[in-house]
Structure 1
C-alpha cells in the first residue's frame, strides 16, 4: 500500500495553522487562563484525580446533555453504578431508569452496557493506545482525548463544536464541516495545548467555559471577552 498523499488544499490549511506566531498563541493562552481563574465553572468531574471509569461515563453523558444537568444527577448515578462490572451485570430496565435524567436513556443504556461488557472482558482496564481506545463502543476522538488527558496528562484538546467556534473566531476559519478531520482546527488546537506550560486539563476547561459563557454561537458577549482586544471577530 502506498502512502496517502496530502491534497494541496489540506497542505495549505496545515501551513496556515503552523504559520501562526507562537506569541499569538501565548497571548491567547494567558488571557484564557486569567479569565478562567475567576470565572471557570465548578463541576464534580473537574479534578486531576477523577477516576477513569467516571471520566468515560461522564463524557458519554455530556454528549448532547447540558453540563449543569449532568453535574446535578451524576452523583446519584455513580452511587447506583460505581464501576464497569456493576453496569455490565445490570438489568436494562434499571439502567435506563437511572439514565432518564440525562435524556436519550435507551441509547445510552445500550452503549454503556456494551462498553462495560467489553471492558469487563478485558480484565477491567482500558486499552493503552489511542488506536485501540477509539475502537471501543461509544468512543470517538473526543473521549479518547479525555482519557489521555486524565490518565496521562497529555496535551491533547477536547475539541468539540464550542471549542471549535472559539478557535475559529480568534485564529481563522476551518475548511471542512467535520471538525474531527479539519487540519487547520486540529493543528491549532494541538499547538495551543502543546506550546503552553499550564495544565492541559485547566486550559481545556478554560476554552470550553469561555466558549460556553461568552463566545456564544448567536450573540457573543464580546464586551466581556478577554480576547476582544486582538480578536478579529470581535463586534
Structure 2
C-alpha cells in the first residue's frame, strides 16, 4: 500500500500528513510534486492543507488547474480514495471533483481553533471506523472555509448521504454558535457521489495523536488505509 501526498507551491501541511501516515498509521506514503503526471502506482491520495499559490484568484483555483489534477481525476475514476484537507477541499471543489464552493468566512478573518464535528455517515472509505453521530474534536485553520451550494445541490447531498461531517457543539448539537465560518447546514465535510472523494475543512492530521490534545482524526486515516487493504 502506498499513498501519495500532493505538494503545491504553498502547501504547508504535507509533512504533518506524511508523519501521520508513516509513523502513526504505519503505511507507506510519498510526497509528490504537482508536476507529476502519473499516479497509477499509488493506492490513495491526500491533498493537504496550506495556501497553494498564495490563494491567488481564489483559494485552490490555481492548484486545481495544474497537471497533477488530471492524474488525480484518473485515480478517482478508478475508485481509489482521495481526501482533500482544508486547502485540499478547496482544490477539489475548484476542480469539480466535489460539489459546492468554499468562500470567505462569514466573519472575514482567519480562524485557527478547535471545533467539534459530528459524524453524519459511516458509509464512506474514510469513516468506517466511527459510529454515526460520534462527536470529534478536530481543529480548523482557514479564512475561506464557508461551504456554499445552491438549494438543489444541498438537497442532493443530503439525499445521497454525502454530508460526512457537521460542525456541532460539544454535545453534538447543530447550532449557529458551533459553526465557525457560516457554512450552509453547518457542513464541515462532504464526499463525492461515489463516496471515494472526501473534502473537509478541519485538519485531522492535527488531531491524530494524544500529545496534540486529540487523536479523534486518526480514524479517518486508518479507515482509508483499511479500505485500501480491502480493495
- Fold match by TM threshold 0.5: no
Structure whose residues are more often strand by fraction: 2
Give the alignment's TM-score, normalised by structure 1.
0.25
Question: Larger C-alpha radius of gyration, 1 or 2?
Answer: 1
Question: Relative contact order (alpha carbons < 8 A, sep ≥ 6): 1 or 2 greater?
Answer: 1
Structure whose residues are more often helix by fraction: 1
Give the alignment's TM-score, normalised by structure 2.
0.25
